Each structure stands twice: as C-alpha cells, then as structure tokens.
Structure 1
C-alpha cells in the first residue's frame, strides 16, 4: 500500500528493550503504541516525558479481553511482545506469577491476533531467551548455542519462556501467523533495571566513585554470559519482522565474560584495579540453580538478516558506567537546587 504508515504495538514498552524499540520504530516512521497497565503506574509519566510520540493503551497480559481490545484499537502491522517477569532470581520467588505472565501472556497476544482475524496482517515478535538453553549438556565448546540446540531451562523464568517460544511456533504453523522468535542472549545497557547484576554493578561503581556508597553486595561471580548491547539487539528484533518469512533467530556476540570480568571492567573505568575492598559476597543472592555458561552463535541472523552487533564488551561496560556517573551527578545537583529553595 503506497504511503501506508506502519503501526506497531509493544508490550513491555516501559522496560529496557521497549524504550530502545520505541525510538527505533519512531525514527523509521512508525506510529508506536504501547501496552501499559493502568491505575497508578509509576513509570507512565516518566516514560511519556521521554517518548511523547507513543500512544499508551491500558491493558494487562493477564487479561485476555484487554489485550484483544488493545489489538483492535491499535490495528498493528507489527506486534512486539516484550513483556514478562524477566528477572531470573525473582522467578524463583514468584513462580506462579512468572508462569501466568511470561507464558500465558504470549498465548493471550497470539489469541488476540487470531480472534480479530489479523493472522494475515499482523506480524508478531516473541521475545525468547537464552535462558531456555539452561547451560546444561554444553558440548559445543567455542561454537555456542544456535537455533537447533537442545533446550533445558534451569529456572521458572526459563521454563515459562520456553512455553512462550513453542506456542508462538505452534500458532505460526497452525494458523499462519507471521510469528518470529528472537532467542536473545544477555543484552544490557543504560536502560537496564538496577535489579539486574550488570546495572547493579555499574550503578554501585558510579556511586562508589562519587563517594555516595562504600560497597556492593553480590552473589556468585563465576557464571559466564554472552553480553551485548540492548540497542543492537532491538535492531535485530525489527529486522526479523522485515524478513520475508517468519523464523527463529539467535542474537548474541559469540563470546562470553564472567560476572567477575564485568566487575573488573567496571571498576577499571573509575581507575580502580583491586575491587575486593568494595565487594561483599552475599549467600542470599545465590540462586537455587545457576547456569554456568551461556554462549550464543548468531551466524544465522548475521547471514540471513544481515544483523551485526556494533558495541563490544569494553564499550558496553564503559557506556553503562559513564551513564550512571552522569545520572548520579544530575540527581545530586537536582537535590542541591531543591534544598536551596
């Protein structure tokens, strides 16, 4: 259709990936709609200050009728399902909520497309995760997990995501919905929540650098992850829905770094070589089951989509530390101005 302006609907729009995706789509001329839970959502006002061009629609993944109304209201060409209980540690404490939101929410989105007869129009993106692999039976040293690797999730989050992954594939095959699944390995950045270990580290390093705190509590430091920049990975999500057919794609960097390496790099950014005086080990932060190593193989996405990550590991950590230092300084200045009034 000549001159047609595409519309995208995003669940989880106030999260890390949602913000990156909203900006990318807007920059590409889309009308952007986002699902947000109603009533006193604390993120709503701050989000609209940053993204005034996004139309927010009140709905809840746990309420199928509200998701159906959101799809009817927005009439999306592309539907990105990014919403989930996305913290692995939290999923152990709240497995039932994780199940209903992270697994059942995907079904509600797909059903909304099917029941509104949009199977031939709306392209659907499901945010799958490397946590579905679980790190067990890792017998491909140096090669990494790809789209054909076996799944063995090691957390309620991973199990729920695996349901979402398979139900999206099922609706693709059963109802002809253009449903693509992005199996994304760990992707971080300045929009990451401080409850995640990478942002917890960079935020603490910034505050230690500025004399605002003395130590940071961490659990195990040996697990290795394939860490990339969220902005690169969101671009890959969009590329999946521009492809001529739906499919599954791994997005990863193809290299791993331990939490200790991330910690070392973060402290290096503030000129500290020995971080041991600033780190307190906490048993309470150790998970019931841990994934030793997650390494991805993005060869298919690079070959088929032309996707390539641009931000390497040192620059990812540098970007996050510098952002957190600037944010802490801005907060301090704002408090100082307020106290002078």
Structure 2
C-alpha cells in the first residue's frame, strides 16, 4: 500500500505539489493568525498571566473587572496571611523627564518581598522601604526609557525613578511600572486616600480565604482566568481572531475536499482496472488516505517551520508568539480536516466499475 502511494505521488508529482501548496498556505495562515492571537493575548494580559497568583478577591459589584474593584488600603493591610497580598493597578500617562516624551503605562503596586514581585532582568529590584523607585517592563525601552530615567506624573507631581527592568509584564497593551506600597500611597496622597484593586492569593486554602474575608467583607473570589477575560478588549480580540481561525478551518474542509474529490474522479478508470485485477475497495481507499496523510504531514510540517522562521524575522512591534503546543493543536485539526475531505471523495472508489473501466481501456 505504501509503495503504491509513493509511486503515484512521484509519478503525478506536479498535481500533488499543487495540492500540497494549497494546504501549506492554508496551514501557514492558520498558524500566523494563531500566533497573532497569542501575541495580542500576552500583550494585553502578560502581567496577570505570569503573576504568581491563582485567584483574586475583588469587590462584589465589580463584575469581575479589576479596574472596577476597590478596597481601602487601611482594610487591606489588616490581612496578615503571607499567601494573600494587596494588588493595585491604575493606568497613568507619565512624562520621561530626560526626553519629555509622554508614556502610557499601567502602574502596579506589590509587596516586593512577597510572591507578586516579578524577577528583574536588568538593573536592581525595589525594596519594601524604597521611595519612588520602580521596576518597568522592558517594552518601555522601545519608548526610549533607560535605567536611571525619571518618570513624572503631572497630576500628582510625583517623580519615579527606574531602577530595573523586567520582562513579560504588560497590561491592556501598556508596559507596567511596578512599585512598592509606600510609593503607591505617596501618589494618592497618603494611605487614607489610597486603595487596592484586589487581593491576590497564592493558594486557595480555606484558611487563606477566611483571613481575607475577615479583613474585607464586601468581596468575592475570582479565578485568574476569569479575571483575565474581563480585561478591557481582551475577550473581543480573542473572539474575533478565533472566529477567523474557525472560518479558515471550515473553508479548508470544502477547498481540500473539492480538490481531493476532483483528483479521485480523474482516477476512477485506474481504480476500476485495479479492481479488475483483484484490488479490494479497502486497499484502494487505504492507499488514497495514505497519500493524503503523507501530503498533509509534509505540508503542515513545512507550514510550522515557516511560522517559526517568521517569528524570528518579524519586527518587534508586532505581537506574535509562536506557541508550539497551540500550533500542534491547530496542525492536528488541519490534518483531521484533510483526512475527512479525502474520506468524502472515496465514495468514487467504491462506485468504480471494473467492467466499465476495462471497456474504456479498449
């Protein structure tokens, strides 16, 4: 069966190359859109995705949106459990004093000595007692920011100094600027006026939840994935791109099915002759499906390689992430689609008449 399949592919190589190119281009488009969807998701919520927390405590009336949740700082600081830490998030426009360039950022306050603080890749980290020192996401460097630069907030007349950079810490398509609670309080005019958006939990133990509820009554626990989906624009972006992917796969079913059907129809005479010399339907169908499997694996494999290379040469400003696990899932879906399209065309093999084929051969 394998020998027959390979010989036919070799003999009609131009025909199979053309079909392979179609599958390659469809698969490449699926993988590229998948990479863009994954890149946009990371750009919108990487700070939350990479945060060492499993769930969050937010206001009951917040509709699971962190930007609509608020707890008084004086209440949040009553929590003594090390597995529950206050988290503050607020979008600001800061001015780089060195270049006078305005920067849209998301300010985030955490306890630098606890589980919410991300690792620093350049410079130094901040301490619990440091004053107006911050660690910024490395994407801020694209805007010209460097270590030692001072960021000024015109509304609160606060100056923040960049002492370190971190990676994969963006929120709502803006780089995060991470500070300690003392700096957070100074921006909002003291602890009495400041607040936190959520309480992040590093575990879901009953004792941890009880300690949080004892300190703050009017709230509810929300899982990380549910909270990420409520980030403004996140769900709309992902739904749109996933719909495009779904339509691409549906289109691939019809396109590939039509090509395999036409190709099978063209070989009806050959199938009839093979039946006349003893070939069974099972053998002929298996040979056809094997050809499609080989063609699909090669084409999808080349498309995966193309998507990987594309990520390496793509400009840094384009949010594209090559997630090999996700790519394999879509690749598997396309392989199934190709086999289903080919299976639809095998009805022509069953209907092939040996006597009619022999008559045509005369």
TM-score by length of 2: 0.25
Q: Which has the higher contact order (CA 8 A, sep 6+)?
A: 2
Q: More helix by proportion, 1 or 2? A: 2
